[in-house]
Structure 1
Amino acid sequence: MLVHINGYPGAGKLTLGQRLAEAIGGKLVDNHSIYNLALALTELKSDAYFETLRAMRAIAFQRVLELPPATPVVATNAHMTDSAWGNENWDAWADLARRRGSRLLVVVLDCDPEELDRRIVSPDRAARRKLTDPAQFTGARTGRVLIDRDGDATLRFDTTGLSAEETFHRVLGFVRTEQAAAARV
């Protein structure tokens, strides 16, 4: 399976992705592992930036395709329906799941904008080269919608009042249910 976690910055994608990959014996491809090189060496949203993202994604996808088919993959992203890049990247992940013969499980983490702002300024985010200025991302505040299409199964919920532990258990339950359903087929 390929579990694609999509959420606004600060929703808890990386924490969830790390825990989930470990719990299901999978590999994690978090969005920062692909974005960090482009962010470090190119101008944000320039042609070189997107070229770098596509090259890093191609390398990551090649390695995913080389994994044993039974190895689950967990991916994290922050993609909105109104973003050309977000839609392109989302389609690439969905295509990867098909090429791999994997079920695509989509997990969308919504969160209250004020809570996202509170989480984004957390000091541990800066150490991981993550967004720390709420003004740089206004997606949730401006009503931008997270992509949630193309999955074989989708779980969408609000993490505002949930701890990381509660979020993890909700998603793990969803994944385990989908694993069991796939095993019965």
Structure 2
Amino acid sequence: MPVWKIIDISGEPVDLACWQLIFDPVRGGRHLVGLAGDNGDARVTSPITSFEQSSRLAMAQSGQAYRLVGPAGLSRDTAYVLGQFCRSRSLCGDLIRNESHLVENPNVDFGILLAPSRKPPLRFIHLNGLPGAGAAEVGQTLAGAFDGRLLDHRKVLQMSSAIMGSTDASRSAALARSRAVTILHALAHSSSDPIVINDRLLADIDEDEKAIAELAELSLLYDARLLAVTLVAANRQSSERRDSETEVHRPLLSDEIYQRYSVRSVAVDTTGLSTEETAAEVMKHTLANDSGV
């Protein structure tokens, strides 16, 4: 079986005890977490670029070599640094995959497993929901977790309102939509980083449907994976929205509208969830959307 040879190791490898091999499915990359033999401190390595099963030697992206000592495990200290690692990436711990069992599997080709993988597809994550569902905070957390960009439609609308005047809400909304599409074009054209669109629902279902149609068209143009996420919360009118002038209740965009434009949509109930927990739920749906699950 071919192995991924370790070359140009400078200095002595650091022994890692009570170790785990973990995979970050959001940003990609496999890391080792364990207790370092040189000082006993718990650490998470930079991404592993090579591993030799016979010697149990691993090379990290930083250039540091590590030797796995003893069986896989998780101590209190390594659990703590792993938690810190997840928090630094705005990740919920259950998104991290433990792949320690692969180390002892003779059928695993680490040359293939650790080879630089193709970047994930361009992602458009469209967030919407009524005030109180937490879309603004969740959007910021998602953009940080994915190392992506945040397009906050609410801020675009505020700028448009300042230009058009607060009395002309319909023209301000139309200008905001147009500017948001222009910005999205520029972001998608300049980078393959995920784009989180924090949208603002309007009182007009037809206008909201146009926004979904434009996003669907853009996702096809840039070969992006589009996921529409509706954030709902109990006792906050999240299943319907109110037109303040007519006091008419209108439903959120229906599944039929999303299906019309072949857009995958999910609803996430934010009741009782923190911003980080809500973002983790959206991440799970996003990763499933990547794989077509």
TM-score, reference length from structure 1: 0.72
1:52 aligns with 2:52: no
Which deviates the most, 99-108 or 167-176? 167-176
Q: SS state of the match for residue 277, structure 2?
A: helix
Show the 5 A alignment for 1:22-37: 22-37=144-159
1:176, distance to aligned residue in structure 2 (A): 2.7
Aligned position for 2:189: 66
> Contact conserved, 1:80 with 1:87, CA < 8 A, in 2?
no
Aligned position for 1:91: 213
**CA distance, structure 2, for counterparts of residue 157 and residue 138 of structure 1:** 28
> Contact conserved, 1:18 with 1:28, CA < 8 A, in 2?
yes
Query: In the superposition, relative to structure 1, how do residues 137 and 157 fare at CA in structure 2: closer, same or farther (>3 Å)?
Result: farther
1:64, distance to aligned residue in structure 2 (A): 2.2
> Contact conserved, 1:103 with 1:152, CA < 8 A, in 2?
no
1:93, distance to aligned residue in structure 2 (A): 1.6
Aligned position for 2:252: 145
Identity of aligned residues (%): 25
- What letter is aligned with 1:41? I
> Contact conserved, 2:151 with 2:180, CA < 8 A, in 1?
no
Query: In the superposition, relative to structure 1, how do residues 33 and 96 fare at CA in structure 2: closer, same or farther (>3 Å)?
Result: farther
Q: Which has the bigger relative contact order, CA under 8 A and spacing at least 6?
A: 1
Query: In the superposition, relative to structure 1, how do residues 152 and 115 fare at CA in structure 2: closer, same or farther (>3 Å)?
Result: closer
Query: In the superposition, relative to structure 1, how do residues 46 and 138 fare at CA in structure 2: closer, same or farther (>3 Å)?
Result: closer
Aligned position for 1:171: 282
1:18 aligns with 2:140: yes
Which deviates the most, 16-25 or 38-47? 38-47
1:61, distance to aligned residue in structure 2 (A): 2.7
Higher strand share: 2
* Gap runs ≥5 in structure 1: 117-133
Task: Pick the structure with greater CA Rg.
Answer: 2
Aligned position for 1:41: 163
- What letter is aligned with 1:85? E
1:40, distance to aligned residue in structure 2 (A): 1.7
- What letter is aligned with 1:158? D
> Contact conserved, 2:139 with 2:198, CA < 8 A, in 1?
yes
Higher helix share: 1
1:79 aligns with 2:201: yes
1:146, distance to aligned residue in structure 2 (A): 3.4
**CA distance, structure 2, for counterparts of residue 144 and residue 115 of structure 1:** 10
1:27, distance to aligned residue in structure 2 (A): 0.8
- What letter is aligned with 2:129? G
> Contact conserved, 2:141 with 2:276, CA < 8 A, in 1?
no
**CA distance, structure 1, for counterparts of residue 187 and residue 233 of structure 2:** 30
Show the 5 A alignment for 1:108-123: 108-114=230-236
- What letter is aligned with 1:15? E
Query: In the superposition, relative to structure 1, how do residues 138 and 176 fare at CA in structure 2: closer, same or farther (>3 Å)?
Result: farther
- What letter is aligned with 2:198? T
